[in-house]
Structures are given as structure tokens and as C-alpha cells.
Amino acid sequence: MRLLKTLAQAATVCLLLQPVGAFAFGSTETVSSADFAALHRYIIKISSADATNSETCLACHGPFTALQQKTADYVAPNGVPVNPHITFDMAMPNDPHSSGKDPIECTECHQPHSIPITEPVPPANTDMCVACHHTGTFRSCSNCH
């Protein structure tokens, strides 16, 4: 799935972003040429990106470390505090979260949204977490097994 299939869609994004302020056309007081160039590079990038690829998401929502900081105080629906933005290293099945490698694909828990956003974005789920952490405490498997 490509986010933006046509130049017309990319142009729509420009126009919709315009009133937001940060990259407003014609507002030379607030937009530097560097910002303007960066915005265009970004639009070009997402125009050809795959929405199921985390890199696409992180172009706006990242970097991953920033996401981790934003959700440091997240509380799961069952009331347990846990940062859901973790890494999962497939090469370390006994200790998958410690290496810091390989963020889980965003689409494991989130549904990609269109740009511009035209529909409410469904909340993320923790199904992938509880597939392993079946008691919902998010403690290490070795606590019980």
C-alpha cells in the first residue's frame, strides 16, 4: 500500500498542511527555506513509501527513541504501566527485549492512517504483547516459566 499514489495527492497534503503553520506557504516570517525544502523532501519520500513499513511511520512519528520517551508513562488497558514501544530481537528468543535491536513493526499494533487523516484513527491494541505476556503483567517469562 502506498500512502500517496499521485502528485495530486501530494499536492493535497501540501495544501492541508499549509494552515497548520509550521510550513505555511506565503508566510516567509515563519518558514525558512530549509524548512520548505525539508517538507518537500518529506512529501516526496512518503509519496513512494510503503505504509506497512515502520520507516514510513517514523518519518513523521519518529525517531523511535522519541516515541519511547513519549510513551514512558503509558498505562495498558488493564492498569499496568508499561512502555509499549519496545524492541523485539528475533535472534534472542530467550531475552527478546534487551538487545535494543529491531523495533516491532508499527502495524502489528497500529492501523495505518491516510494522509491527510480523513477517518478517526483506531486506537492501538496490545494483542501482540499479551500473545506472550498472557497474564498482562508484562513481566519476564522467566518469572513463572
Q: Give the footprint of other proteins on this chain (CB under 8 A).
A: 76-80, 88, 90, 93-94, 96, 130-132, 134-137, 141, 143-145
Q: Cβ of residue 69: shortest distance to other proteins, in angstroms?
A: 24
Question: CA of 93: how far to CAs of 103, 126, 129, 134, in Å?
Answer: 14, 19, 14, 16
Cβ proximity to other proteins: between 79 and 123 the closer is: 79
What gap in Å lies between CA 4 and CA 53, rounded to an integer? 14
Closest approach, Cβ 120 to other proteins, in A, equals 21
Instruction: Compare residues 20 and 144 and give the one whose CB is closer to other proteins.
Output: 144
- At 88, which helix (H) or strand (E)? none
